[in-house]
Amino acid sequence: MSSPEIVSTEPATGQILWRGMPGDPADEVAIARAAWPDWASRPLSVRVETMRRYANVVRQRAEQFADLIARETGKPMWEARTEVESVVAKVDISIAAYAERTPQRRMEGAMGARTAVRHKPHGVLAVLGPFNFPAHLPNGHIVPALIAGNAIVFKPSEKTPATGQMLVACLHEAGVPPGVARFVPGGPAEGAALAADPNIDGLLFTGSVRGGLALHRQFAETPNRILALELGGNNPLVMWDTPDLHSAAVIAVQSAYLSAGQRCTAARRLIVRDGAHQPLLDEICKLIARIIVDHPHASPPPFMGPVIDNQAANAIEERFLGLIMSGGRAIKHLQRPAADKPFLTPALIDVTNVANRSDEEIFGPVLQVIRVPDFDAAIAEANATRYGLSAALVGGAPELYDRFWANVRAGIVNWNRPTNGASSKAPFGGVGLSGNHRPSAYYAADYCAFPVVSTESEQVRASIGVGLRDA
């Protein structure tokens, strides 16, 4: 059964931005399958040059693209512009990564033979994108996949189809054959159908842990297909012996509240030394009081906009009230200025005394404070999660950071920097429920092509030296 009509509304205004009927994943996969061999047989230099033209197309349409992202997600224009810049930058990064991660190698062997290592694309790859970075994150799968010679079938989040459609339109305008990059609007039904299609060779997914676990179970019986999962995190931010309280507070605010807390690397838990925590919390509260929450095009520019929709806002409010009902103490209450719109103010809540705290990702502007007696307890609390995406330590000497780095369990470990804002020039991924050891960003080339080893000789030479009777 297909999803009903897909309607995208602007979170900040409630106005309809895009509407359309769901696509047919099977049809789109068939088109991609037919187009893929020609694309894969083209020289790498041709595919690279096509991707460079794509970067130029996006660059030329940057302001229009940023405006669309801002209206469809609710994020401020300044942040939408940085997302478009990341889309452009991803091309050169992916070209360099493909050359480094999948190089051709030749090794000389005995009797004139040689061993060659080259890489082949998988074929047709499905890409399922999220709503929080509807251009940058799927682009991080799509560009490396196309460079490697794959065809892609992209289903964006049903909450951000307009951005997804524009992304694919830019690919086509740059010269990517229409059959090689396919756009499938749709909801959960189309996503499930695309993942289950027997004619895909793999799936690249960025989204929720629940969705990732379902895909992991589904793909368990098809080891012939690649699966790359980029999931969420219940990320710890440990602040310890921080003499510069203002800078520490800035890092806490950036970590927890950028994108209205809708980043998989956002700090969810602030771990502090009990008894020395109050000056830091006071400084964070001062900054929170100054944060502007407004629509994307507001003046002065807001720090954060709304969350993606009213359903998400309702769920975040329920989770915050649940923490209070379980013994949490609100330091800064989560507020919703307009009941009919998904604007939320940044919240800070002490959950130290909440028994049996739920290890779940609250995907919104809620930062939970946990007080601990010593640094061993801080590390233990940081690791008290099934996730393992991002972690950061603010403060402490290099020896303390070395101890933190060695013992904390995460794929991204920072010192005196926010938990978010990872560089696309490095691998991006986590452990535990945060991924399946298929890091993206710079390492995306690893899951977009597979190595082929060949032993080769220009002449037919063979002999058996032992185990034969005399002729």
Condensed to tens digits (0 to 9), the pLDDT of residues 103-140 reads 999 888 776 789 999 999 999 999 999 999 999 999 99
Strand 440-441, strand 427-428: pairing:
antiparallel
When pLDDT is averaged across residues 327-342 and rounded to a whole number, the result is 97
pLDDT of residue 1: 65
The two three-digit tokens of residue 93, written as one number? 């990064």
User: Does residue 264 carry a catalytic annotation?
Assistant: yes
Strand 347-350, strand 267-273: pairing:
unpaired
96 has a pLDDT exceeding 70: yes
Q: Which residue has the tokens 């005394």?
A: 353
Strands (DSSP E) contained in 207-346 are 226-230, 235-239, 267-273, 329-332
Q: Is the dihedral of CA 311, 167, 206, 89 positive or negative?
A: negative
Distance CA 272, CA 269 (A): 10
Q: Which residues contact 120 (CB under 8 A, 6 or more apart)?
A: 40, 149, 449, 450, 452
The pLDDT tens digits for 218-258 are 999 999 999 999 999 999 999 999 989 999 999 999 999 99
User: Does residue 230 carry a catalytic annotation?
Assistant: yes
With a pLDDT cut of 90, the percent of the chain lying above it is 94
- Looking at residue 365, the DSSP 8-state letter turns out to be S
Residues 393 and 296 sit within 8 Å (Cβ to Cβ)? no
The secondary structure of 439-457 as a DSSP string is -EEGGGHHHHEEEEEEEE-
456 has a pLDDT exceeding 70: yes
Residues 352 and 324 sit within 8 Å (Cβ to Cβ)? no
Q: Which of 211, 210, 208, 215 has its CA nearest to residue 231?
A: 208
Alpha-carbon separation of residue 70 from 29, 59, 163, 170, 454 (angstroms):
30, 17, 10, 18, 49
36-50, 364-378, 436-450, 452-466: least confidently modelled range: 452-466
Q: Residues 230, 283, 361, 381: which is the catalytic one? A: 230
pLDDT of residue 220: 93
Q: Which residue has the tokens 């992209």?
A: 154
Residues 109 and 115 sit within 8 Å (Cβ to Cβ)? yes
pLDDT of residue 163: 98
* Neighbour tally for 355: CB within 10 Å: 7
DSSP three-state, residue 243: coil
80 has a pLDDT exceeding 80: yes
In sequence order, what are the beta bridge partners of 455? Answer: 115
Give me the chain's average pLDDT, please: 96
With a pLDDT cut of 70, the percent of the chain lying above it is 100
The continuous run of DSSP H or E covering 378 comes out as: helix 375-382
Q: Which of 453, 287, 271, 458 has its CA nearest to residue 380?
A: 271
The pLDDT tens digits for 414-446 are 999 999 999 999 999 999 999 999 999 999 999
- Looking at residue 33, the DSSP 8-state letter turns out to be H
Residues 27 and 211 sit within 8 Å (Cβ to Cβ)? no
All structural domains of the chain: 6-231+435-456 (3.40.605.10), 235-415 (3.40.309.10)
Q: Residues 10, 83, 158, 264: which is the catalytic one? A: 264
Q: Which residue has the tokens 């088109």?
A: 31
pLDDT of residue 399: 97
Rg, C-alpha atoms of the chain: 24
pLDDT of residue 110: 73
The two three-digit tokens of residue 415, written as one number? 């010192």
Alpha-carbon separation of residue 140 from 78, 144, 201, 440 (angstroms):
20, 7, 18, 7
Distance CA 299, CA 301 (A): 5
Q: pLDDT band at residue 352, thresholds of 50, 70 and 90?
A: very high
The pLDDT tens digits for 295-322 are 999 999 999 999 999 999 999 999 999 9
Distance CA 145, CA 411 (A): 22
When pLDDT is averaged across residues 30-37 and rounded to a whole number, the result is 98
* Neighbour tally for 292: CB within 10 Å: 12
| φ, ψ for residue 245, nearest 5 deg | -65, -35
206 has a pLDDT exceeding 90: yes
- Looking at residue 273, the DSSP 8-state letter turns out to be E
For residues 263, 266, 268, 270, the Cα torsion angle rounded to the nearest 10 degrees is -170
Q: Which of 292, 234, 335 has its CA nearest to residue 77?
A: 292
Buried b (16+ CB within 10 A) or exposed e, 268-284: bbbbbbeeebeebbebb
Q: pLDDT band at residue 471, thresholds of 50, 70 and 90?
A: confident
